[in-house]
Structure formats: C-alpha cells, structure tokens
Structure 1
Amino acid sequence: MSDAHDESGAADGGLAPITVGLAELNPIADIEGKTTKNRSKVGSVRPSALLYTSGIGATVDLPHLSVMPHGLDAWQRYYDRRPGGADLVVEPRLLDLVRAYLGAQVTQLRKAPWAPEAPGGFGDEAIDLGIPARVFPQWLRCTGCNLLAPVSHPIFEFKNVLKYRPDQATFIHKDCKGWSPGSGRAKARKGREQAAVPARYLIACVNGHIDEFPYVAWVHRGRNCPNAKIPQLRMREWKSNLGPDVQISCLSCDARRGMLEATGPKAAEKLPHCRGRHAHLDAFYQCDQSGKLMMLGAANQWFASTVGLLALPREEVASVIDLLPVLQALPPEVIASATAKEALAGFRGWAGSLTQNEIFGNATDDVLWEAIETLKGAVIPAPAAAVSTDPSDILLPEWLVLTNEEKYTKHSGSADFRAVRRAVPESLMPLIPEVVAVEKLKKVNAFVGFTRIDALDRIDDSKNRVAPLTRDGRPTWVPATEDRGEGFFLRFDEPTVVAWENKILELDIWETYRRAHELNFKRRTSKTSDSTIDPDSRFPPPRYWAIHSLSHLLIREAAMSSGYGSASLTERIYAWRKDGDRPAAAGLLITTTASDSEGTLGGLVDLSRPERLGALVHDAIRRGGRCSSDPVCSHRRPRGKEDFLHGAACHFCLFVSETSCERTNRFLDRRLLLDLMVDPDVATPGLLLPILGD
C-alpha cells in the first residue's frame, strides 16, 4: 500500500548533490518548466557514505533539514536522464556474492549518480538531479514559536533559491509571532521568518520499519480533538533531573502530555504497534511487532548491510555468467559491432580497452559469442551454483592469488591489479617466507540492505530482518563503489604456525578466551533473534589472534613513516585452519585505498622493500613489547562474568581506529606474539619467537 501522505524528493551521493522535492515541487518537471525558484539540490555526500552511514533508508542530517534516500525503484528516472545511463562496477565475483544475498535476478552493480565538475561543485540541473530522497521526518517544529505540524501544513514554506548554496535549503515559518500565549502582545507583534527544524521523535521496529511519531494521537491519548478536525500542536522543552522534559500541547483543546511517558518502564503499553511502514519505499507492509520510540539521529536507527572484496584477476577460463556483467557495461554501439563469431578479434580489442578488463582474454570465441547473443536476447542465465557467504570462502580466492607468484605475476599488467614479489629480509626468514608488494589493487563494495535497532551480527545474520531495497524485495541492481590503492602482503610459514598453534590450543588461557567468546556471543545476540548458531563456529583460531595482533602493530608503525594516517590503513587477515577441501591460510594484507581513479601515492608499497620492511616489523615488535598500562595490560584475561574479547591489548598498545580493524578491536593479544614476562597462568608461547633473536 502506498503512503498517500509522502512527498517525493531527490538526493545524490558521491560528492554529488542530494536533491529533494516536496509535493508541490517535482524536480524533473519543475526544472524543465522553470515553474519554481526553489531548487532541488540540498546537499552532498560521498559515495562511501551511501554504503556505510547515509544510505537508502537512513536519515541524512543536513544543516537545516533531514532527508531519507529513496529505495531503488525511484532511482531509474534519474539514471535515464544522464548521458550513457548508469556507470557500472564490473566485478563478477562481487555480483555473485550479492546474488547469494538478494537472488539471481540481480544483474548489475551501479555507481551512484555523481555531480560533474562545475563552479560550486554542481553541473547542469537538467541532468544532475542526484539520488531521489524524501523529507523525513515530515513533522517540523518552528524554532520561534515551537509550533508542531507536518511539512504539508500551509504555515511552512520551503526556501532554496541560491544555486551554489544548497546547504541553505530550509523550511521556514513565514509569519511567526513567537511562542507567548495570549491574545494581547502576541497578536500585535509583527511576524517574521523563523526556521523550522525536524521534530526529533520517530517510531521504529525490529523488522526495519520506521514511521512518524503520532503526535496528535499521543497528546489526545488516542481520541480525536473535541474542538478541531486538524488541531494545532506545540512542543516545548524544559531541563529536569531526568533529562530533557518535552511536553506536547494542543492549542485547540489545551490537552497536554509529556514525552517521558514514552520512555518510561510502561512505554511499550502506551506506544502504538508498528504500521509496517518502509518510508524509503513509500509503502506499508504487514507487521506484528510493537513500536519502539526512536530519536532522530540515534545510533541504532540504521545499520548498513554491505559486502566487499578485492577485485583480483581470474586465472580460470571465463564463462558466460562471468562475461555478462562486463558486456553490460559496454556502450550499445560496441555490442552492435559484434556481428559474427568469426570476427571477434576487433571486438575483443575495443571492449578490452574500454573496460580495462582482461576477462575477454580468458574466454573462448564460443563462450564470448554465446554471452553476446545472450545479452542481445536479454536472457540472463541463472548462476550455476550458489556462492558461499562464509568470510573464509570469500577471502579464499584472494589468498590463492596472493600466495601464487605465477598467478599474480601473469595478471600484473592489468589496470586494476599489479603485484610483485619482494625479497624477504633475512631477519624475517624463519617465519615469513614470502612478501608481495601490491602496487595496484581495487576494492569493490556493494550495498544489500539495512537493519534497524539491531545490527546484522546481533541477529545471527538473519536475512529476513534486512529491509528491502525495492517494493517487491527483488532488486535487479544494487549500489556499489570501487576504491583503488596499494598495500603489502606477508605470508607466514604454515608448519611453524601449526606447531605453535597446537601448543596454544592445549593451554587453559585459550579455554578462558573460548568461554568469554561464548558468553559475549550470547549477550550480544539480540533478544529478538532466534539464535541457532554455535558460538564456537564464530570463534577464530589462535593464528587469527596472533596475526591480527601483528597487523595492528604494523598499522601503528606504518602510520609513522608511510605518509598515511593510521585511520587510512586497513587490514585483511587470512588466518584459518585446514577445513575439508579449503587449504589452511596464515597471512595478512595491509592496504590503503581512495575513491580517486588514480589510486594512492605508493608510500605503503615502499615499506615492503627489504631494507625497510625488516626495520618496520622489528620496530613494531619492539613497541608492542611495552605498554604504558603494563603490568595491568600484559596480565589481562577475562574472569568470571567478564566477556571482553582480548587479552594483553588496549588503546595504548594495540587498538586502532574502527576504520582500520576488521573486527572492531576484538581478538587481540600481545602475549600470543611476544615472550612477555607475565604470570605462568596467562603465559603463552609467542608466534614471533623465531625472529626475535636473543
């Protein structure tokens, strides 16, 4: 069911303007007909923000108003107006992963519309309309008189007339006379413009729905106002010992009610049930959950569900399924030039130069021609097999390429990947037999949905709790980004790691960590989740703890000499034991990426040179051997009901920013790396002992 009270709008992402239109402002029609002085663009966000902080279904706080990016159903008409349509991210492995989450009907990974370079950062308004969004929440409060009303109320007016200052877009109460009650001075006072800001309260539920707070029903306790069909409300606030005391009053009948009732112990009995509203889709769905009070901008209002991986070269022969996403990214005239299977040589060269993708060289003429005919016939075959979403399975292809010199050398001429083996410093040889400088890499990311109230890992990755991106829940494309950068890869000697790991597994301290993880897993899992996952299946092995700890030491040390801040460096840990046909892995990749098409500057790759890498590792080890919180830090272990997931680690020695760590500073322990002087009950052999020397 469509929400008849929703106003449509537009917003954009990628240093591109967010645009918004009200009921009386149709962005496309108004721009073409020049029927309004108000402009649609109201702000801009970066491409990565659309995936992680300000994406579909999130509330985007702008200087004077708040908007919510629409679902994918509303994006197409904005793509249609751009020359060449949508820009695609071509990465078959990521597309397969997205299909594992959303279904085989997904055929494209699209970049968000971006603003062309122009004065003020904006281009032609007739083309650059950005990403569609809506005003949300749609209840506004006048900052002058505290009047509370929906955005469609005639007292509010949208004002956005400066072409290059979309940040000044605002709603105003044009003739505000202040909040003082009474008929004397208030009526005689001359009115003036006052800004109207979003009202702060919302209703959400665990199924991802979000709705306006029912202010009229709340203040009248579920009944109608006796004196007015459309009553006027006022929101006032005082400070109190219990925090802000907000009161809603009706100016028509003098009914009053405080918002503290909505936050008290009996709030669940007083708040309405969820109406099943997905505001980003302008639609309602069936829902049996109770509504929960939500503050605008609350941290648990929106949790992104994204998938990402490194775009690495494929060593196997390409299939039709592999070729289709690449062919879809080509201009129509290129596809039309392929008229016969016997004359594909020219097509390969033209297509390869446009896509900068070596996949055409991995396909036979028969497979390539079949893919072209399939595309022309608009028939998309289903994937041959489901793709695993297990993190280790996702990382396995990267591990197989980075540990095989023949593979990464063969493909090092591509535009998105270049790697070269470096000599290993003699001081690292006993433990680290291989170093790879990754001079070029590309990381691709896709957005597959979002949750509210609980993050995805707190509900056991339940896909049914992820909010849909389209009304039918079956999108044919999803937003994606690509970042380019550099890094270096270290592989650890597997026999050495296995021998060390077997010793750790027999220690009491390891059992302590396992029990702490089990307790943490059960506590972190939401009460609204049906937990069926064995906590031990999510508990990483000792090698992960040790390699992860070394990665943090290297990030902190590299930040001092690479030219990049530590928050710009990220890690990818390849650390798992042999499991069936999946080979064991023990390695780490430190990278830095940027959304710029030229990538990064090479400072991280330079650290992989033998004359610098040895010093980098040993300096990191030396710093890791001391902590200003020792001996408290070096002796730390979970006890009793404690469930923290680290040992000898803290902000002074191992923790890094959350943009750098793939596990939010969990599963860390310096003792597993170094021979620290500690009590016997927490002492462990150090993985780095073979390279520490005397």
Structure 2
Amino acid sequence: MEKIRHDLRLSETITPFGVGAIVDVQGESLIAPDTSWWDKKYAPEISCERLLARLGAGVLRQPPTHAGRSGKDTAALLYWRFPAWRFCERCSKLSKLTGKRKGKWSNTCECGGFLVPMRYIAVCEQGSHAQDIPWFMWAHRGREATLDESVRFCRAYKELRFERLSGRGEGLASLQVKCYGCGHTRSLSELVKKDALHRDGISCVGRQPWEPEDSAKKPCNHHLVAVQRGATGNYIAERISALDIPEERPQSAEIADKIRGHVYFGKLVADNGGPQAEMLAGWIAEELGVTSEIVLNVAIEDEVAADEVLLDLKDGEWAAFLKKLDDGRDRSGGDFVVDGWNLNATSGPESLVSRIAGVGQVHRVREVRALRGFRRHSAESDLITADLGPDRRRFPTYPAVEMFGEGIFLRFDEDKLAQWEAHPSVRARAGILMKRRTSVPWAERLDVPEPRYIALHTLSHLLIRRLAFASGYASASLQERIYANSDRKDKTAGIFIYTAAGDAQGTLGGLVRLGQPEKLIPLLVSALDDADVCSNDPVCIESDSQGSSQLNLSACHGCSLVSETSCETGNRLLDRQLVLGGGSVVGFLDKVLTEVRQVTVTG
C-alpha cells in the first residue's frame, strides 16, 4: 500500500486524532495505534513535573513534527487502516483485498473502482475493544441460513457484494449484503438489533485493531454492538492538562509552619488538650493574626503525625496565581507572567466590583496536555491506556503537547461567596446536581457541583461567549479552568480563561489586553446582560433538568453552552439561576443588572 501523507495540527494528535481514534483521511478510514508503535527517536520528551506527579511513573512525549519540505524526510505518526473490510464503489464487491496499480498496492478494486470503507464496525459494550465485523460470517448467519445447506457450507469468499436496493427508502432496510456464490442475502437492518452479533455467534476478540492476534491476555466476555464507525461514542478521550507554573506552597501550609515555629507550640502539643491548651492557642493566635481553631487544628495534626496529602494540580496553580496577584506588575519573564490588579480604584457596579478580589493579566502561560487513554461505547466502559506496550505498567509513554498562550484570571471574594452559598435556596438548588452526580457512575469523574463551582463555572461560560466578540478569538479556541472548592484548607474561588496554541510560541495578545479592570468589568456586565434573557425562555430559566444525563439546570445552547472542547466538564454542571437568580433562588450576581439599569434610568 502506498503511504498516505496528511498534515495534522500538533494539538490534534491528542484529540480528536489521538491514540485509538478512528478518522477519515483522503477517503481512507484509519485508526491511531498506541505509543508503543512510535519511533521514539523522533518523539521528543516533554518536561512537566507537576503533570507527571499526577499521572505517576512514565514519560511525556510529543508526536513527531515537521515543517515544509523537511516533512518528507522525518518520521510520521503511524495509522492503521480500519475497518479492513471495504466495498468497491463501481462493482460493489465486498472484501479485504487491495488492488494494484502499476505494480504498487493501491486502494482500488480489480475493476479499477475506488474502495470505500464499510460504514459499520463492532465495539465491545464494556471492554472498550473494537474490531471488524466479519461480513462473510455475518452474511451466512441468521434464521434462514440455518435451514439451507448451500448457505451453511458456502465458501465463495470472493463473491460477496454490498448493494443498495431501490424503492426501499434511505434507511438500513435498503442496504444488504449478498453472496453470489449461494445466493443468500441479509439486510443491514438486522445488524443493529439488540444482541444481534451475539446471537450470530460473533464474540469480542479482546484487543484493539492494531494489536497482534495473540496479544489478548484473557478472553472478553462482553457482548459486541454494531455502530457506525464515525459515531461520537466510539472514542471518548480522557486527557489531563497542567499549567507549567512555579509550584507555590498554599497559604495554609505557610501559616502552619509559623505556628509550629512559635515558642509556645511545644507546650501546646505537650498539654494534649488539657486545661492550658485554650490559653496557649489564644496567645499564639493573637501574635500570628490567626484564629485559635487554626492553631488547635495544627496541634492535632502534629499529634497524630498525619502525612500531608498530595495536592491536586489546581491547588498548586491557585497558590501560584495568588502570589502573582499580590506581587502586582510581573517583570520576572519565563513561561508564567502575570500582572496582578486590585479593583480598589475601578469604577463599575458595586455589587460586581466588591465580589472580585483580584484580576490577573496572564501575558504568558505554558500548558502541557497529555492523553491518559480512551473509552469506547460509553463513559462507564473500561479505560484503555495510551501505551499498550510491554513497558506500560512500569514506564508508560503518554502522548503530550506543550501549548503557549495568554489569558485572564479572576479571583472572587471568599467571604461574600461563602455568605451567598449559605442561603438555603442556593444549597437546595445545587443539591439537585449533587444528587444526580451520585446516581450517574461516570459523573464521579466530574468536579463536585457545590454552589460556588456551578456559579463560577456558568459565569466562565458567559464570559467566554462575550470574549469571543471582543478578543478576536473564536469561542472554540478559548479554554477554561475553574478553581472552586470549599473542601480544602485553602478554599479556592476563581476562574482562568485562556487561549493556547501548540504550533506557535504564544498568541497575539487579543485576550490579555481585555484583562485590564476598566475593560473587564464592562465585559462582565455585558455577559450577564446577554444571559439575562435566553431565546428559549421561559422554558430554559424554569428548567432543572437539561443537558447530558440532566447534569445542567437552567442552561442551554441559547444562553450558556460553549464548545465542548472549551469546557473542562463537557458542558455540564451549569445553571443561570445561581448566577442571576430566579424564582426563590438568590443569584451570586443577581443585583448587578438591577444596579446598572437603575443608574442608566437615573442618568
């Protein structure tokens, strides 16, 4: 077969053309094998210690790249043909055979017609395996086939045809596979019935299409289902990303160090909750400017010698952003440059400005994205890792790309946010998604939908939609990162909206310039005004069950949804009511538009 050369953007090698993905390229249907098939000489290693700490042992490697004419001499990513079964668009012959043209293998039939990949493949319901449908076997199965001896013992392997019948519409009933050796025909409508392949005795081979036949370590007992090869559920990528930032210690850890270093701390621990504990804790707290409860908690942790839990990736990023905001103008250089702003002298609605504790103009940031693996058929299926080679357990290779970009960071006031989420109506509203998250098994991989997360996540979407008009970037090129967790020692409350490119050393500055407070506040007001009325209201604003698995409340394509590649949860856990209010629900920013409109009328 002649080699096909096709250029991809570097970021596309992670998703949607990453390991395990089925893609159409120049009329061919191809699938990307795992990283054990890569030529490591041409796949440079990427450094990101924070990301590897989350993934565990292994190495991050960037797929081979080239530019211009040099691409002919450099290694390329390997893709396998899948499905192997094809039919001729001229004579309709169905087979795995490949023709020849001038002595070379080509994707043509013996009659000269072009070979077209079959539309359907077989996918395992639970094991995330994929394989060809054995069309010759399938065509000679079924109720009628068992009664005809000529069909049961047919060996006319080259006489199979894939035909379309006229006068039967455009559905599967108009498509059939016919064997011209025995004359037996079978409609594709029988292929998609429940457990159809299982009844025909077609079982899962327990491996991926590019793996050798002897690679399946144990048989797969799950049933196969016939699906269209381009169906979205055939490839559910699981990727993870991290910002390459200087790892900062959280404020709680620094405070704990100061408490442990106090001259009275040893006596506090020795007292072990005795009569002097409260008095000693009060003295330490007064000198360090903290509460007695914090001092006592540190003493209890030391008493049981609790090991510090490995911080989540976002915890380290949050601490780094806070340090940058406190430092003001950033003249450090490097791959993480942030100018910090406070809003003390910024004009705007008091109900909005008072809730924002700081803004960061992120002039430069490096993000590393890696592919952990993929699933097929459903989000509950088994995860197939990106490396299926012999070293996959000891030292796997993860496909990764580094992205350079810019963005806007917003930190919200913790006290006002905590006061708002203490409202019973707010907690009851968020409790709807909390309950649904526990009832959907795969939803456990999503963030906890506490009130602050839902509100800030929805606000992020509203701002992304507005920034698409003002920044010069399409909304699909903007990404979000939500920091909203009240269950940590250092509670987080912020959003980071950024754009990054893997095939350029940065971006054009159209986003970061809008991070100046005098420009950002009007943009936030406009974003809230856009979402105040949805084209699907009153249905949307009154709804509490929208989106995938009903994991959205008042949020739809008319008001809050963005490209799924931009959202870190795939357009889930959204609700306009928790931002703007509605019914008996108090919105986090429900007074902003009222204040703006009153000023406008007065003016």
- Equivalent of residue 363 in structure 2, options 410, 432, 439: 439
Write the deviation string for residues 195-245 of structure 1: whole angstroms up to 9, x where unpaired.
011122222212121111111211222998645464421111236368223
Q: 1:512 to 1:158 in 2, by over 3 A?
A: farther
Q: Partner of 1:544 in structure 2?
A: 453
- CA shift for structure 1 position 517: 4.9
**Does structure 1 conserve the Cα–Cα contact (< 8 Å) formed by 2:195 and 2:223?**
no
Q: Could you report, residue by residue, the CA deviation over 1:166-209 in whole angstroms, capped at 9, with x for unpaired residues?
A: xxx961114x2xxxxxxxxxxxxxxxx21011122222212121
**Runs (5+) with no aligned partner, structure 1:** 1-21, 23-37, 162-168, 177-192, 317-384
Counterpart Cα distance in 2 of 1:635 and 1:416: 45
* Aligned mates of 1:211, 1:259 — CA distance in 2: 17
1:393 to 312, 335, 352: 312
Secondary structure of the 2:55 match is: helix
Q: Deviations over 1:507-530 (max 9, x none)?
A: 2x74355345534653x548xxxx
* Structure 2 equivalent of residue 111 of structure 1: 62
Scaled by the length of structure 2, the TM-score of the pair is 0.78
Identity %: 30
Aligned to 1:200: 119
1:354-411 Cα offsets, whole Å, 9 max, x none, are xxxxxxxxxxxxxxxxxxxxxxxxxxxxxxx9996xxx82211111110123887798
| Segment drifting more, 547-556 vs 234-243 | 234-243
Instruction: Kindly state the Cα deviation for residue 548 of structure 1 after the two structures are TM-superposed.
Output: 1.6
| CA distance, structure 2, for counterparts of residue 266 and residue 433 of structure 1 | 57
Amino acid at match of 1:518: K
Amino acid at match of 2:240: V
Structure 1 segment 64-463 matched on structure 2, within 5 A:
64-76=27-39, 79-80=40-41, 85-99=42-56, 104=57, 106=58, 108-118=59-69, 123=70, 125=72, 127-151=73-97, 156-157=99-100, 171-174=107-110, 176=111, 193-205=112-124, 206-221=126-141, 226=153, 228=155, 230-238=157-165, 240=168, 243-245=171-173, 246-265=175-194, 267=196, 268-283=198-213, 284-285=215-216, 286=218, 287-315=220-248, 393-405=312-324, 413-424=332-343, 425-427=346-348, 428-455=352-379, 458=380
| 1:195/1:418 CA distance change after superposition, 3 Å | same
What residue in structure 1 maps to residue 14 of structure 2? 51
Alpha-carbon contact 2:466-2:527 (below 8 Å) kept: yes
Q: Is 2:413 the partner of 1:493?
A: yes
State the one-letter code of the partner of 1:469. Answer: D
Tell me the CA shift for residue 301 of structure 1: 1.3
In structure 2, the partner of 1:599 is 506
- 1:142 deviates by 0.6
Q: Secondary structure at 2:356's aligned position in 1?
A: coil
What is the CA-CA distance between 1:497 and the residue it aligns to? 0.7
Q: Aligned residues, how many?
A: 518
Matched residues in 2 for 1:238 and 1:229: separation? 22
Alpha-carbon separation, structure 1, partners of 2:24 and 2:113: 19
Q: 2:527 aligns with which of 608, 611, 620?
A: 620
Point out the more displaced range, 541-550 or 224-233: 224-233
Distance in 2 separating the partners of 1:409 and 1:281: 54
Distance 1:58 1:146 in 2: 27
Aligned counterparts of 1:686 and 1:649: Cα–Cα separation in 2: 16
The aligned residue for residue 360 of structure 1 is none
Whole-Å Cα distance in 1 between the matches of residues 571 and 71 of structure 2? 45
* Offset at residue 419 of structure 1 (A): 0.9
**In 1: Cα distance, 2:202 partner to 2:184 partner:** 19
**Unaligned runs of at least 5 residues, structure 2:** 250-306, 599-603
Residues in 2 aligned to 1:499 and 1:440: alpha-carbon distance in whole angstroms: 34
Question: Which range moves more in the overlay, 465-474 or 40-49?
Answer: 465-474
1:644 paired with 2:550, answer: yes
Tell me, yes or no, if structure 1 residue 572 matches structure 2 residue 490. no
Q: Does the Cα contact within 8 Å between 1:146 and 1:234 map onto a contact in 2? A: yes
Mapped pair 1:511 → 2:444:
no
Normalising by structure 1, report the TM-score: 0.68
Gap change, CA 1:575 and 1:41, over 3 Å in 2: same
Alpha-carbon deviations, 1:41-70, whole Å to 9, x = none? Answer: 332322222212122222221122112222
The code of the aligned residue for 1:296 comes to: R
Distance 1:250 1:624, change over 3 A: closer
